[in-house]
């Protein structure tokens, strides 16, 4: 007998899969779009013309995202296999190749495929980590390798709940809300063992990173309280907090997109980023590359303590 | 081609109506108004007065009416407002951010 799918929430979506996607909370309601994940080995879309819209390397695997004329996506993950996202983004077909590494496959689904699917649904996202505390969600935007995971890990160690490690989906209806991603983090294996134990349980070690499930994760969309643009410099012995001169344009540089999305998505992205700028404080947190995450966390918490609460 | 004095000449911008171009959005902030051409991804910043003009564009039937409104709001001579507004509108039009069309 087939196991019925279990619904979890991730990136502003409800995700139905059997078995359930790991490390993701139950949905807070039923209003979010539903995506069903199925699996198999057949390539259901063989022969359809597709345009390559994005190439990158993830987990040392070449990644290629192709878009069909009807908008469907084929996300090729190296030699591991391909995820097919339907044109209406209501389903993901996971076609693993024989011999695919289960841990890599699962991490790619949680860390990449799901947010691509969220964008297909019109969600707006920042390349940012985020944690939830008593005053709301705090976003930490930075490029890859910019230190947002380390800072988020320190804040979680101090008692915050993880909202997102790398991609933060935001909606702006009556309130600006930050939506939970799967409660997973990728920490350098050189991170202190005590920190890794304090955060949660390891799922796998892949390419010098410890992929772990964080025990303290946010379970519901959380009102946004502040955004920090994290900037690391070669030198410097202190963390500094400064205001941002042109926050809308700067914050937009951290927005995540995929080529081929309709122009309505760009409009929605502009509106949500503008709402963020109009509603919550945006600060630049600058720190030397060698400064430990604890010092950055101190500066961040001081800035939040001095700021007026968001109405 | 730039504006003649208000109410004169065949290429009279003041009798035209201005509207935001398709795929252009803007948001006003205290220090500036940010304008985005969604089709090209190009951002433009205008000062608060420019932002006020963009906000009024589609509320008023003509550039001439916009001149009158701004002259009253900012308590400035109409002739000064007219020249500055014509120059501003041509700049926005040249950048594809607004469209100018003849009124009926």
> Which residues of B make CB contacts under 8 Å with A?
23, 25, 27, 29, 32, 34, 36, 38-39, 41, 43, 45
Report which of A229, A135, A139 is spatially closest to residue A179, judged by C-alpha positions. A139
Per-residue pLDDT at B3: 45
Whether A278 and B25 lie within 8 Å, measured CB to CB: no
Q: How far is B97 from chain A (nearest CA, A)?
A: 15
Q: Of A246, A248, A263, which is closest to B23 when you measure between CB atoms?
A: A263
- Residue A262 pLDDT greater than 70, yes or no: yes
**Interface probe with B: pick from A274, A277, A281, most Cβ of B within 10 Å:** A274
Position A26 scores a pLDDT of 93
* Mean pLDDT in residue range A64-92: 94
Q: Find the closest chain A residue to B35 by CA distance.
A: A270
* C-alpha span between A138 and A103 (Å, rounded): 29
| Span B4-35, pLDDT tens digits | 445 444 358 999 999 999 999 999 999 899 99
Write out pLDDT tens, residues A231-253.
999 988 889 999 999 999 999 99
Angle at B28 between CA A225 and CA B95, to 5 degrees: 130
pLDDT at residue A309, as a whole number: 66
Distance of alpha carbon A138 from alpha carbon B16, whole angstroms:
47
Q: Which residues of B touch A278 (CB under 8 A)?
A: 27, 29
Give A205's strand partners. Answer: A210
Cis peptide before B11 (omega within 30 of 0): no
What mean pLDDT, rounded, does chain A reach?
A: 92
Token pair of B66 as six digits? 């916009």
Sequence-ordered strand ranges (E) for A80-135: 81-85, 91-96, 124-133
Would you say residue A311 has pLDDT above 70?
A: no
Record: contact A249-B34, CB cut-off 8 A: yes
SS3 B63: helix
pLDDT tier at A43 (50, 70, 90 boundaries)?
Answer: low
Instruction: Tell me which residue of A73, A79, A154, A66 sits closest to A117, measured CA to CA.
Output: A73
Task: Report pLDDT for B2.
Answer: 42
Q: pLDDT tens digit string along A269-294?
A: 999 999 999 999 999 999 999 999 99
User: CA-to-CA distance for A162 and A184, rounded, in angstroms?
Assistant: 8
Q: Which residues of B touch A280 (CB under 8 A)?
A: none
Residues of A in contact with B41 (CB under 8 A): 266
The mean pLDDT of A54-60, rounded to a whole number, is 91
B86 Cα to chain A: minimum distance (Å) = 27
Cβ atoms within 10 A of the Cβ of A40, count? 11
Alpha carbon distance A44, A157 (integer Å)? 44
Residue A1 confidence (pLDDT) = 65
pLDDT of residue B5: 47
- Picking from A107, A63, A116, A65, the residue whose alpha carbon sits closest to that of residue A89 is A116
Which one of B25, B34, B45 has the shortest CB-CB distance to A267? Answer: B25
Per-residue confidence at A148, pLDDT binned at 50, 70, 90? Answer: very high
pLDDT at A93 over 80: yes
Query: Could you give the dihedral angle defined by the CA atoms of residues A179, A151, A120 and A209, in that order, rounded to the nearest 10 degrees?
Result: -120
pLDDT at A102 over 50: yes
């Amino acid at each position: 007998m087939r196991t019925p799918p279990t619904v979890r929430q991730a990136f502003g979506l409800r995700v139905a899969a059997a078995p359930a996607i790991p490390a993701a909370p139950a949905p807070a309601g039923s209003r979010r779009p539903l995506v069903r994940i199925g699996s198999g080995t057949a390539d259901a879309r063989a022969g359809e013309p597709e345009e390559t819209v994005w190439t990158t390397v993830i987990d040392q695997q070449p990644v290629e995202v192709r878009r069909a004329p009807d908008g469907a996506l084929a996300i090729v993950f190296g030699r591991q296999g391909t995820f097919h996202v339907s044109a209406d983004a209501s389903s993901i077909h996971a076609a693993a190749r024989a011999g695919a590494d289960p841990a890599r496959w699962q991490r790619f689904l949680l860390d990449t495929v799901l947010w691509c699917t969220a964008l297909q649904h019109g969600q707006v996202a920042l390349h940012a980590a985020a944690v939830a505390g008593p005053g709301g969600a705090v976003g930490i935007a930075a490029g890859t390798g910019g230190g947002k995971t380390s800072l988020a890990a320190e804040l979680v160690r101090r008692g915050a709940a993880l909202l997102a490690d790398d991609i933060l989906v935001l909606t702006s209806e009556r309130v600006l809300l930050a939506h939970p991603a799967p409660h997973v983090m990728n920490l350098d294996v050189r991170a202190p063992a005590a920190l890794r134990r304090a955060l949660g349980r390891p799922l796998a070690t892949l390419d010098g990173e410890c992929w772990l499930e964080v025990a303290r994760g946010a379970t519901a969309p959380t009102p946004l309280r502040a955004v920090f643009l994290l900037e690391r410099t070669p030198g410097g012995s202190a963390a500094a907090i400064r205001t941002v001169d042109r926050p809308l344009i700067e914050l937009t540089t951290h927005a995540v997109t995929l080529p081929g999305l309709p122009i309505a998505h760009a409009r929605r992205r502009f509106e949500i980023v503008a709402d963020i700028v109009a509603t919550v404080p945006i600060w630049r947190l600058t720190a030397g590359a060698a400064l430990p995450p604890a010092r950055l966390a101190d500066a961040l918490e001081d800035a939040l303590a001095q700021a007026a609460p968001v109405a | 081609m730039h504006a003649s004095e208000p109410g004169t000449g065949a290429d009279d911008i003041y009798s035209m109506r201005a509207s935001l171009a398709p795929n252009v959005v803007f948001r006003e902030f205290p220090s500036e108004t940010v304008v985005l051409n969604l089709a090209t991804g190009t951002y433009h910043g205008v000062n608060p007065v420019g932002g006020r003009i963009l906000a009024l564009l589609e509320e008023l039937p003509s550039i001439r009416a916009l001149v009158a409104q701004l002259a009253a709001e900012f308590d400035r001579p109409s002739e000064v407002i007219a020249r500055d507004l014509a120059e501003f509108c041509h700049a926005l039009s040249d950048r594809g951010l607004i469209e100018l069309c003849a009124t009926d």
